[in-house]
Structure 1
Amino acid sequence: MRTIYPAATLAAALLFGGASVASAAPADVYAEVTAADIADPGAVIVDSPAALAAARTAAQAIAWYSSRNGSTAYQGYCEKAARLSWNRTTHHASAIEHWRSSDGARHTTGTPPRGAFVFWNISAYGHVGIADGSGGVWATSVNGAIGHARQGYFANYLGWKPGNSN
Structure 2
Amino acid sequence: MRTTDLLARLAKPLAVAALAASAVAVAPAANASTITATDTNPAAGTFSVLSEAGVDAAGDGTASGAIAWYKAHMGSTGWEHYCEKAAENSYGTTGVWASANAHWNGASPKHTSGKPPAGSFVYWNISAYGHVGIADGNGGFYATAVGGKIGHGSSTSYFSNYRGWTPAAVPHQ
- Return the TM-score normalized by structure 1: 0.64
- 1:142 alignment partner AA: V
Larger radius of gyration: 2
Give the number of the structure with larger relative contact order, counting CA–CA contacts within 8 Å between residues 6 or more apart.
2
> How much does 1:104 deviate?
2.4
Whether contact under 8 Å (1:74, 1:140) holds in the other structure is yes
Whether contact under 8 Å (2:85, 2:95) holds in the other structure is no
> How much does 1:87 deviate?
1.4
Alignment length (residue pairs): 112
Q: How many Å separate the matches in 1 of 2:95 and 2:128?
A: 21
- 2:113 alignment partner AA: T
* 1:36-55 correspondence runs (5 A): none
- 1:110 alignment partner AA: G
| Cα deviation digits, residues 33-92 of structure 1 (max 9, x gap) | xxxxxxxxxxxxxxxxxxxxx952111100000000000010000000000001136610
Identify which of 127, 144, 149 aligns with 1:123: 127
For the residue of structure 1 that corresponds to 2:145, the secondary structure is strand
Identify which of 47, 57, 68 aligns with 1:63: 68
> How much does 1:151 deviate?
1.2
Whether contact under 8 Å (2:77, 2:148) holds in the other structure is yes
Residue of structure 1 in register with 2:101 after alignment: 96
- 2:93 is aligned with 1:82: no
List gaps (5 residues or longer) in structure 1.
Answer: 1-53
* 1:102-113 correspondence runs (5 A): 103-113=107-117
Higher strand share: 1
Whether contact under 8 Å (1:86, 1:163) holds in the other structure is no
Whether contact under 8 Å (2:125, 2:161) holds in the other structure is yes
List gaps (5 residues or longer) in structure 2.
Answer: 1-58
Q: How many Å separate the matches in 2 of 1:91 and 1:136?
A: 24
Q: How many Å separate the matches in 2 of 1:88 and 1:161?
A: 17
When the two chains are superposed, the root-mean-square deviation of aligned CA atoms in Å is 1.5
